[in-house]
Amino acid sequence: MSTLKPARIEAIIGASGSGKSAYVKLLALKRRPARLMVWDFKREYADFGTVVGDLSQAVELTEGRRFSIVMQPSVNEGIRTWQFDLFCRLAYARGDLCMVVEELAFVTRPSWAPDAWRMMTCTGRHGGVHIIGTSQRPAQVDKDFLGNATLIRCGRLGHRADVKVMADLLFCDQRALIGLGDLEFIQRRAGEKNNSAGRLKLPGNGNA
């Protein structure tokens, strides 16, 4: 089923510990979506839905109008690759949902991603989807995803090459991205002229 609702595509990039997952959990998923599928590579989203390790369970659990599933994929790369393909096909078939994919670099490459992932991130207007993908490094993520993102959020980066890629995506000076601290970010929303910057507020540690 397709609708005219535009897709929301969030690309969350930054080095380990920069605050990507904290952003996803504390802000992006703050209002729990009615239909949620999480690709939980690091096994840290158990609070967000029913944990599954196999796609047939995921198919069953996403049959209703509302669902929240947290797929914990295999650590074996070959198995994980086809698991991700099926995960994306399922998300595409269900439509009208929020899909979180943590650590995109483990399942996509700069010039390759599963067809269903490309359908959701490239055709743009499929079923009102909200897609959130995270990666420590931009160069390892498929370029179409980054190019089609409606929000690009960048935290502390660990490599000079990443600074260049992210500055291009954010249309900003590379110097703006050097020296970001953990939880600090610069982001660009599609349709907005100016980037915004800030620091993610964590609950109960004095910086909220």
Ligand X SMILES: Nc1ncnc2c1ncn2[C@@H]1O[C@H](COP(=O)(O)OP(=O)(O)OP(=O)(O)O)[C@@H](O)[C@H]1O
Contacts of ligand X in 149-188 (CB under 6 A): 182
For the CB of residue 94, give the shortest distance to Mg ion in the complex, in Å. Answer: 25
Q: Output the smallest distance, CB 34 to ligand X, in A.
A: 22
Residue 107's SS3 state is coil
If the CB atoms of residues 7 and 99 are measured against ligand X, the closer one turns out to be 99
Token pair recorded at residue 37? 């599928």
187 lines the binding site for Mg ion (CB under 5 A):
no
Residues from 42 through 71 that contact ligand X (CB under 6 A): 42
DSSP 24: I
HSE (CB half, 13 Å, CA atoms) of 99? 28
| CB of 105 vs ligand X, minimal distance in Å | 10
Number of residues that bind ligand X (CB under 6 A): 15
Q: Which is nearer to ligand X, 3 or 207 (CB)?
A: 207
Options 11, 19, 21, 120; binder of Mg ion; rule CB under 5 A:
21
Cβ(162)–Cβ(121) under 8 Å?
A: no
Q: How far is the CB of 118 from ligand X (least distance, A)?
A: 24
The single residue among 11, 19, 37, 48 that binds ligand X, judged by CB under 6 A, is 19
Rounded CA-CA distance 9/93 in Å is 18
Neighbours of 109 (CB within 10 A): 12
Residue 13 in tokens: 């990039």
Kindly list the distances between the CA atom of residue 202 and the CA atoms of 21, 27, 123, 199, 207, in Å, as whole numbers in the listed order. Answer: 12, 10, 35, 9, 7
Which stretches of the chain bind Mg ion, using CB under 5 A? 20-21
Site of interaction with ligand X (CB under 6 A)? 14, 16-22, 25-26, 42, 136, 182, 202-203
